[in-house]
Structure 1
Amino acid sequence: MTPEVAIDLFRGGLWLTATIVALMVVPSLIVGLIVAMFQAATQINEQTLSFLPRLLVMLLTLIWAGPWLTRELMDYTRTLIQNIPYLIG
């Protein structure tokens, strides 16, 4: 296996990981920002108030995007496994 192939495999895995993490974190960050603005406007200083909406948004995002995430992970893994003979030789 050449260094270029190893870098390509690593790049693909890193890109897939970053996509999955961003898909889960960005909606949670947006909801956290909205709740923080609401707390600042109403002067409510409860730390646990933003936890439940962020948790619900994370769960809904996982339910909504779960099939796509699973399919992408399975495709990447299948590609890696199918290319093992070409990578070794």
Structure 2
Amino acid sequence: MTTETVISIAERGIYMVLMISGPLLVLALVVGLIVSIFQATTQIQEQTLAFIPKIVAVLLGIVFFGPWMLSHMLSYTTEIFSDLTRFVG
């Protein structure tokens, strides 16, 4: 296995992690920003107020984006396992 192959596999893995976790992270970021703006305008300084809407938004995001995320993970895993003999041998 050459160094280019290892770098290519690692690059693809990192790209897949970013692609799968990206929608949930963006969703949590947007909800956190909205809650922070709400807290700033109403001067409510409760630190734990932002956690519940973020948790609910991420859970709804998992329900909505879950099948898409799972199909991408399965296709990547299938591709890695099918090329395993090429990587090792």
Relative to the length of structure 2, the TM-score reads 0.92
Give the letter aligned to residue 67 of structure 2: P
SS of the equivalent of 1:45 reads coil
Give the letter aligned to residue 55 of structure 1: I
Unaligned runs of 5+ in 2: none
Cα distance in 1, alignment partners of residues 41 and 78 from structure 2? 50
Give the letter aligned to residue 26 of structure 1: V
Please name the residue that 1:55 is paired with: 55
1:65 deviates by 0.6
Unaligned runs of 5+ in 1: none
Give the letter aligned to residue 30 of structure 2: I
Pairing 1:57-72 to 2, within 5 Å after superposition: 57-72=57-72
Give the letter aligned to residue 7 of structure 2: I
Identity of aligned residues (%): 37
Please name the residue that 1:18 is paired with: 18
> What CA RMSD, in Å, does the superposition of the two structures yield over aligned residues?
1.0
Relative to the length of structure 1, the TM-score reads 0.92
Cα distance in 2, alignment partners of residues 24 and 30 from structure 1? 10
Please name the residue that 2:80 is paired with: 80
Q: Deviations over 1:52-75 (max 9, x none)?
A: 111110001111111111111111
